[in-house]
Amino acid sequence: MVIQGSYRTFFQSSACLNPIQLPFHMETHLWYMKPGEVKCESLIKQYFDMLSPCERVKVLEIKDEKLRRSALLSRVLVRTTICRYQNSSQIDPRTLNFQKNIHGKPEIDWGCTNDSKPLHFNISHTSSLVACAISSSSQIGVDMEEKERRVVHDISSFAKRYFTQREVGFLASITDPEAQRLEFLKIWTLKESYVKAIGKGFSGAPFNTFNISFQSIEGSLLTQENNFEVVIESVENSCYFDSNWQFILLELANSHFAAICTEKPSAFNGGGVSSMKLKVWRTIPYVEDEYVSGTDAVKFICGSG
C-alpha cells in the first residue's frame, strides 16, 4: 500500500481520526493494524513523534526491526483509538498519559480531567499484527498468536510446565500433531486474555491455577461452528481465580488466533443474559479505516459475536 504524500503533515492539516460512538453495554470494539502495510517512512516518523519520551526510548531499545515497528505501532494504535471515543474533547493523541497498576497493566491517566469518556482498553501485538480492544462497561483483555507459530519445545512437555492436568490430558488426546499445535495455541491465547483482563498478568495468575475448556450443547470438543462456549474453572479453589468472565475466540486477518475476555453481565449489573458482541476495524491511523466485521478477516470460533 502506498501512502500518499498528503499525509506527511497530517498533524498540522485538517486530517483527523474518524470519531466512533462508545461501545454499547456488553459490546467490544477491536481495532487492528498490519505493520507490513505501513510503508511510508515519513508517516512512521510522525507516528514516532506521537510517543512520549519514555515510550520512544523503549521502542528504540528493541533491536529486531520488525518487533521495533510492531511496538511503535501498538503505542500509536492505543493513542489514536482512545482519541476516537473522545471526539467532543478533540484530544490530541500526543497528550494522553498512561499509568500502570501494581501488576503492570497499562491504564489511562486522565489526571484531573472530568470530561473524559469512560473506557477500558488492552493491547496485543506480534511482528505482523497489532490489536487494541475497547470496552466501556467492563475490564478487558486481548491476546493474539500467529496461527503458524511453532512451539520450540515438545508441546506435551511445554503444556505440562504451564497448563493444568486437565488441559494436558486434552492435548494428549489429540493424535494429529498439527491439530494439537493449533489447540495449544487457542488455549494459550484464551489464558493470556484472561490474566490480562483481570489485570494480573502471567506472574500474578499462573496458567496452571485455572482450566480453560470448551463446552457445546452437543457436548463435543472444538468444532468449526460457533455453537459452544469457553468455560473457565478454578483448580483447587485457587486464590488467583475469578469466574465472572466470558470469552470470544476468533481467527483474525486470516493469520492469527485472537481471544477477548470481558466480565459477564452478572459481574457488574446483578444479572442478565446479555453476551459479548464484537465490532472489528482494520486501520492505518489518519490514512484509512475499514470495518471488517462480517468479512473473511473475522471468523468466529466460539463465543458471541
Give mean pLDDT, residues 37-55: 95
Question: Which pLDDT tens digit goes with each residue over 263-304?
Answer: 987 645 554 445 789 999 999 999 999 999 999 999 999 876
- When pLDDT is cut at 50, 70 and 90, the band that residue 32 belongs to is very high
DSSP SS3 for 137 = coil
What is the model's pLDDT at position 118? Answer: 75
Q: Considering the chain, what percentage of its residues have pLDDT values greater than 90?
A: 57
CB 215 within 8 Å of CB 223: no
What nine digits make up the cell of 267?
Answer: 459481574
What nine digits make up the cell of 10?
Answer: 497530517
Indicate whether 28 pLDDT > 90. yes
Sequence-ordered alpha helix ranges (H) in 163-299: 165-172, 177-197, 201-204, 266-269
| Whole-number CA gyration radius for the chain | 20
Question: Which pLDDT tens digit goes with each residue over 70-95?
Answer: 999 999 999 999 999 976 566 889 99
To which residue does cell 466480565 refer?
263
**Amino acid (1-letter code) at residue 257:** F
Count the neighbouring beta carbons within 10 Å of the beta carbon of residue 279. 19
Q: Report the relative pairing of strands 210-216 and 277-284 from DSSP bridges.
A: unpaired
Lowest-confidence pick of 13-17, 64-68, 140-144, 198-202: 13-17
pTM over 0.75: yes
Lowest-confidence pick of 175-189, 237-251, 289-303: 237-251
Question: Which pLDDT tens digit goes with each residue over 33-42?
Answer: 999 999 999 9
Chain mean pLDDT for the chain: 84
Cβ-count burial of 152 within 10 angstroms (0-12 exposed, 13-18 middle, 19+ buried)?
Answer: exposed
What is the model's pLDDT at position 1? Answer: 33
What is the model's pLDDT at position 229? Answer: 81
